[in-house]
């Protein structure tokens, strides 16, 4: 668990915003932006406000998704460095490839599944990251032991967990006594409880807005699987359990 993330969200109203196309027909924008902390994931929809391809007569993207962003959570920062120049103008301004990030970056490091999670603070160069093979593996493993164990549990439960389930599992961990996914719930002191509202998650009932032709395979047992192998129905059940346990809300 990056301690910076826990410090940021504890006692706050948090919006976690995915990118399902079903979100684009809503008017959640102002509601999302009213949260204390807005976490957006991967190809964040607000980056495409003003883009002719995604924002126009049929979709008022800002009204649907809002524009505020306090944390950008991505599946592997090292990968994003190569295509940042292709992002819309807003994203280029907020995440200058050659300068410091304007809001914190949470690297989920899913391209390095068994390593920890990496936090790039505001003002730091977003290309800086822990090397794939640390020079001192022992020192690295000791520093990130809890995170490595947590990610191991996550990967065993979901095989190839999506960025969405990873972010929500980290927030769920903020409300537990221990440092593993299965640790017992802690009783947070008055005034420190966290409220989480989840937007733009429909578990592949619709594609993500920037991947309209993404192929989804439906298995005989009702599971939906994309080419990355994410198991969306299994993740949906887990997220609904988190919502029930923590009092979170999954917005339709």
Average pLDDT over residues 226-236: 74
pLDDT band of residue 191 (cuts 50, 70, 90) is: very low
Q: Which residues 6+ apart lie within 8 Å of 142 measured at CB?
A: none
Higher pLDDT, 223 or 236: 236
- Beta partners for residue 119, in sequence order: 106
Tokens read off for 207? 């594609």
For the stretch 127-174, pLDDT in tens is 665 555 556 667 777 778 888 888 888 888 887 888 999 999 999 988
pLDDT at site 168: 95
**Residue 4 CA to its chain's centroid (Å):** 15
Percentage of the chain beyond pLDDT 90 is: 27
pTM of the full predicted structure? Answer: 0.87
Average pLDDT over residues 47-68: 81
Average of per-residue pLDDT values in the chain: 80
Neighbours of 152 (CB within 10 A): 14
CATH of the domain at 208: 3.90.1480
> How many domains, the chain?
1
Average pLDDT over residues 73-90: 72
| Residue 37 to residues 6, 32, 99, 116, 192, Cα–Cα distance (Å) | 12, 9, 23, 23, 14
* pLDDT of 54 above 50: yes
For 36, the domain range is: 3-250
Average pLDDT over residues 24-44: 93
Which residue bears the tokens 């290309």? 127
């Amino acid at each position: 668990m990056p301690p910076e993330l826990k410090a940021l969200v504890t006692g706050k109203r948090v919006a976690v915003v995915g990118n399902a196309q079903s979100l684009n027909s809503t008017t959640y924008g102002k509601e999302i932006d009213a949260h204390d902390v807005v976490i957006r994931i991967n190809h964040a929809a607000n980056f495409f406000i003003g883009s002719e391809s995604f924002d126009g007569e049929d979709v008022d993207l800002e009204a649907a998704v809002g524009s505020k962003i306090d944390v950008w959570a991505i599946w592997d920062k090292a990968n994003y460095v190569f295509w940042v120049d292709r992002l819309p103008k807003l994203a280029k301004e907020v995440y200058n490839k050659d300068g410091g990030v304007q809001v914190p970056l949470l690297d989920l490091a899913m391209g390095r599944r068994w390593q920890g999670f990496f936090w790039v603070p505001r003002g730091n160069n977003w290309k800086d990251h822990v090397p794939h093979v640390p020079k001192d593996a022992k020192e690295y493993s000791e520093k990130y032991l809890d995170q490595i164990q947590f990610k191991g549990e996550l990967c065993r439960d979901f095989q190839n967990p999506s960025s969405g389930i990873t972010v929500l599992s980290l927030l769920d961990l903020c409300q537990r006594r221990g440092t593993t996914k299965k640790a017992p719930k802690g009783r947070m002191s008055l005034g420190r409880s966290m409220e989480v509202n989840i937007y733009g998650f429909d578990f592949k009932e619709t594609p993500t807005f920037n991947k309209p032709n993404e192929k989804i395979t439906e298995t005989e047992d009702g599971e939906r699987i994309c080419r990355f192998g994410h198991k969306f129905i299994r993740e949906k059940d887990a997220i609904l359990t988190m919502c029930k346990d923590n009092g979170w809300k999954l917005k339709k």
